[in-house]
């Protein structure tokens, strides 16, 4: 009697479960460094919904103006196509940048122990803005790592549209501000001209189109003022390679100071590094003045822009104007200004000498 033929299974179950792959930034030696995933609720996305509504709200009126004014009144299909192409190209680029800011991972909370620039860095807990300003040596040892904000914050972030924008997505955030600002200015200028035409030629156009012109002109002006000022501020931050926290708080320089020289008994005794509440009025003014000339991570405006936008070629910035791109490095450690150490050493000496006369 022939033996029944046995069929081998199509899929053989593995003898051991497959290993769980860690994300590329997870530390193999310490699993506690990897932050737990935070599940957002529906109301966390309300700022994003509001941003999308603000970007889409003027478009119905914009189409009415383009059709009624440029096609039916001016009979200029060339201007119609030019305005239509420019406005919707900027709108498309704005939404592309917004998607990158919201969807791209801003990076890990902790820093690697070895940076790609050959500098040592230690991990630290991510703390908020007020904790960074009010932190003292009683709470934790001061970190002198090369990350921005003196290692107090393990990564600097901007909260925009319900999402975190870190150094890894900062170029896309700047691209979003640039496109929105240019779009607002373009719409405002186009509609102001249409309003002027409507007032000087009241019988050439219908009654409703000027209302859309006025609405779009005011909308564009307001958006240009709001986003344009924010955009110019971030252009300054990139050119000087500062974060918002570094630019607003001069006393963060104290965390980078070298050991204070020997202090006489008659002078005010300072800790190493000094704390803000220990400083006299003269010392505080000295730190504020030094804050304008000591920029820890300023490597020249070309290097600063290349670091933030992530270009390597001489004309690489042209591609970033269209796509936004991403910054260089791991987003947690940065090259330092080669002159910063000498300026900080001079500031440490001046802090001791400024109160010797009192």
Instruction: Give the span between the Cα atoms of 79 and 245, in whole angstroms.
Output: 45
- Do 253 and 295 contact (CB within 8 A), yes or no? no
Name the pTM for this structure: 0.70
Whole-number pLDDT of residue 243: 86
Instruction: Give the span between the Cα atoms of 116 and 170, in whole angstroms.
Output: 19
Biggest alpha carbon–alpha carbon distance for the chain: 114
In sequence order, the β-bridge partners of residue 159 are 164
Task: Report which of 212, 214, 219, 194 is spatially closest to residue 204, judged by C-alpha positions.
Answer: 194
Q: Please indicate, yes or no, if residue 75 is contained in any of the structural domains.
A: yes
Q: Please indicate, yes or no, if residue 100 is contained in any of the structural domains.
A: yes
User: Residues of the chain whose pLDDT is less than 70?
Assistant: 1-38, 105-168, 263-268, 311-332, 357-358
Interacting residues of 251 by C-beta distance below 8 A, sequence separation 6+: 276, 284, 287
Number of structural domains in the chain: 1
Q: Please indicate, yes or no, if residue 46 is contained in any of the structural domains.
A: yes
Q: Please indicate, yes or no, if residue 127 is contained in any of the structural domains.
A: no
Q: Please indicate, yes or no, if residue 348 is contained in any of the structural domains.
A: no
Residue 216 structural domain: 41-105+161-240
For the segment 306-345, what is each residue's pLDDT rounded down to a tens digit?
787 776 666 666 666 665 666 666 666 778 888 888 988 8
Whole-number pLDDT of residue 47: 86
Q: Please indicate, yes or no, if residue 338 is contained in any of the structural domains.
A: no
Whole-number pLDDT of residue 272: 81
Whole-number pLDDT of residue 5: 54
Whole-number pLDDT of residue 86: 95
Q: Please indicate, yes or no, if residue 246 is contained in any of the structural domains.
A: no
């Amino acid at each position: 009697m022939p033996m029944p033929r046995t069929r081998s299974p199509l899929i053989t179950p593995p003898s051991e479960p497959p290993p769980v792959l860690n994300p590329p930034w997870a530390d193999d030696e310490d699993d506690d460094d990897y932050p737990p995933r935070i599940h957002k609720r529906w109301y966390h996305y309300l700022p994003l919904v509001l941003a999308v509504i603000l970007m889409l709200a003027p478009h119905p009126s914009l189409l009415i103006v383009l059709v009624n004014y440029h096609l039916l009144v001016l009979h200029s299909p060339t201007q119609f196509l030019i305005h239509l192409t420019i406005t919707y190209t900027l709108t498309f680029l704005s939404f592309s940048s917004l998607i990158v800011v919201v969807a791209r991972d801003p990076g890990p909370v902790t820093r690697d122990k070895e940076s790609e620039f050959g500098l040592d860095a230690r991990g630290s807990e991510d703390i908020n803005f007020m904790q960074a300003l009010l932190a003292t040596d009683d709470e934790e040892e001061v970190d002198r790592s090369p990350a921005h904000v003196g290692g107090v914050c393990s990564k600097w972030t901007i909260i925009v549209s319900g999402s975190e924008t870190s150094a890894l997505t900062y170029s896309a955030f700047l691209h979003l501000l640039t496109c929105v600002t240019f779009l607002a200015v373009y719409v405002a200028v186009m509609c102001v001209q249409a309003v002027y035409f409507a007032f000087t030629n009241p019988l050439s156009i219908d009654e409703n189109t000027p209302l859309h012109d006025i609405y779009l002109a005011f909308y564009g002006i307001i958006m240009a003022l709001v986003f344009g000022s924010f955009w110019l501020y971030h252009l300054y931050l990139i050119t000087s390679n500062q974060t918002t926290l570094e630019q607003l708080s001069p006393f963060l320089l104290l965390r980078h100071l070298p050991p204070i020289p020997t202090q006489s008994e008659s002078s005010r005794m300072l800790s190493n590094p000094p704390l803000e509440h220990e400083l006299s009025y003269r010392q505080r003014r000295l730190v504020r003045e030094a804050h304008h000339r000591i920029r820890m991570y300023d490597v020249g405006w070309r290097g600063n822009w290349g670091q933030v936008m992530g270009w390597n070629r001489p004309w690489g910035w042209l591609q970033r104007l269209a796509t936004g791109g991403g910054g260089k490095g791991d987003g947690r450690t940065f090259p330092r200004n080669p002159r910063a150490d000498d300026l900080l050493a001079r500031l440490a000496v001046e802090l001791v000498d400024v109160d010797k006369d009192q």
